[in-house]
Chains A and B, each alone.
Chain A
């Protein structure tokens, strides 16, 4: 039932605001060339999109990563299966609201409008077959610092036409439940481990760091997120200039003013500002989705705890395909019938219920 790629299917960006880009899992393996792996900021949201569309998290299809606000999009060529994951984003197809975390079809001539993100920072538009931009060093992710990958190595602009790869799946009308842990995502501390320069801070400063409530600010992009707090600047005990050293994902860097910045997907590979701690891998996605103004605290954990949390997160992601459920809808809706069958090519009749399309 897979759609053959006899014509080129594309998504046209009619309008957009900064700062959307094409992303996948990034390109590890080039760190010694000064290129950090990059890739999606919120890995869990990306995996949810893959699970929803194809029931697997094994492929590396590229998606559209949307910060803050979406735009208007149309497709040309063939119908496109799509879904929205990550932070909540209002969506309409030709003016009719579409739910998040649910697969839908966008047909040629239809318009998809995405509004202002709420309850988070970053939304993901995934499409069946993925955005088929050229691979650069084995990945399609846009690396903004390097100006490579994605659509001409840059964020998306109005008028961009994005090729979509052959879609091997045909499921639509499936939805994913929220992760039960996401209900208290604002109240749970962000867990940290020591990093490059933790030992350069005094015990008193480290204790103050753990006791301080920080606030997420509007200063956030793919490279990092600035935090605000009240109190004296966080400073290293020894003011000897620091030799530039490796930066890792989630590093909490203290810049000259004593303010912390959390370094994210497109971080620079090395830097000379001290890093007081590092957010554990399992909490990166949750941190990246804390909206501006959110109060957060850091909690120091053990290496074993962080690895256990990572294993639990991976287990949750692996279980996503099995957690998909059929969206409960009015089967008499003509739109739902069209939704299913224009993609699958089947004609709905008799017992062939529109939602019976799971593979």
Chain B
């Protein structure tokens, strides 16, 4: 990450007339995202009347509000007050979690049956498949946001030598649980969807389960530790999840 990635002063930008974006930087960066996730918690804890909902994105916090009860000027003033009281984050700290951060153990099956694009990705990176898997599991990843679709998580950043652009082709339908990779990030699909990223594995995680409370377990600001499992283990965990005997677990400290 570049030290200049985070803005000294976050930028407040209205999007239309009922949304305000509080932008903490211009790039995909762990410290930018940490500041955003921490700020979203602050905004939620402040319980400001007129705010309808908030969400952390890769580099910002979106605030949806009712401008008829909470004028933009008032909202802006209240958010600036919160920003001025935001505790400073140690920007050099990229790996150590704060005491409240949750870290999830994410089992991933990298078996060719579940990883149609893993060999292509390894080839493009000039690495072996085993190298890609080992490095994908090597460092904890930060959940940047839940976006695009229900429970769909973005995480990063992978080691530099795993960075590569999107593919030139679109896969029309990747299944729930698909682990996809590109631009230094890993996403896990909770629902079937198209993608232009590399499908490199399958997880038993379903980060959108409408029948469970909460329906979405992993949220922005959490951390992920990927671990390689066999195809048999995946099938066993899938069955256990379906029968309600398995849910995603936090890494035990």
Contact = CB atoms under 8 A, between A and B. Distances in A.
A and B are interacting partners: yes
Interface of A: 28-35, 37, 136-137, 145-148, 193-196, 241, 243-246, 248-251, 268-271, 275, 278-281, 303, 306-307, 310-311, 314
Contacts of A35: 150, 216
A251 B16 contact: yes
Nearest to A302: B17
Nearest to A245: B57
A165 B64 CA distance: 31
A271 B145 CA distance: 12
B158 interface: no
B148 A268 contact: yes
Contacts of A249: 16, 18
Given A146-B210, A245-B58, A307-B68, A196 B21 contact: yes
Contacts of B151: 33-34
A314 B17 CA distance: 14
Interface string B23-52: 000011000000000001000000000001
Given A34-B216, A244-B58, A281 B148 contact: no
B149 interface: yes
A280 B21 CA distance: 16
Nearest to B192: A147
B219 A33 contact: yes
A145 B210 contact: no
A25 to B, nearest CB: 11
Given A270-B147, A307-B17, A33 B208 contact: yes
B150 A193 contact: no
B191 A147 contact: yes
Given A32-B146, A248-B19, A278-B17, 10 more contacts: A29-B52, A32-B55, A34-B150, A246-B55, A303-B14, A303-B17, A306-B17, A307-B67, A307-B72, A310-B17
A31 B220 CA distance: 12
A196 B22 CA distance: 11
B54 interface: yes
Interface residues of B, number: 45
A32 B152 CA distance: 11
A66 to B, nearest CB: 25
Nearest to A30: B53
Contacts of B19: 246, 248
B59 A145 contact: no
B154 interface: yes
Contacts of A33: 146, 150-151, 208, 214-216, 219
A146 B71 CA distance: 32
Given A145-B149, A193-B14, A310-B68, A269 B21 contact: no
A251 B60 CA distance: 18
B101 to A, nearest CB: 16
Interface string B143-168: 00111111110100000000000000
B62 interface: yes
A244 B17 contact: no
A273 to B, nearest CB: 12
A87 to B, nearest CB: 24
Contacts of B147: 34, 244, 246, 268-270
Nearest to A279: B16
Contact of A31 (B64, B154, B210): B64
Contacts of A275: 15
A249 B65 CA distance: 13
B16 A269 contact: no
Nearest to A280: B17
A271 B57 CA distance: 11
Interface string B212-251: 0011100110000000000000000000000000000000
B56 interface: yes
A31 B16 contact: no
B148 A270 contact: yes
Contacts of A306: 16-17
B58 to A, nearest CB: 5
Contact of A250 (B16, B21, B71, B72): B16
A136 B68 CA distance: 28
Contacts of B214: 33
| A-B residue pairs, 7 tightest by C-beta | A270-B147, A278-B16, A33-B216, A246-B62, A31-B55, A32-B55, A306-B17
B206 to A, nearest CB: 13
A103 B84 CA distance: 55
Contacts of A268: 147-149
B219 A32 contact: yes
A248 B219 contact: no
Given A250-B16, A270-B57, A303 B72 contact: yes
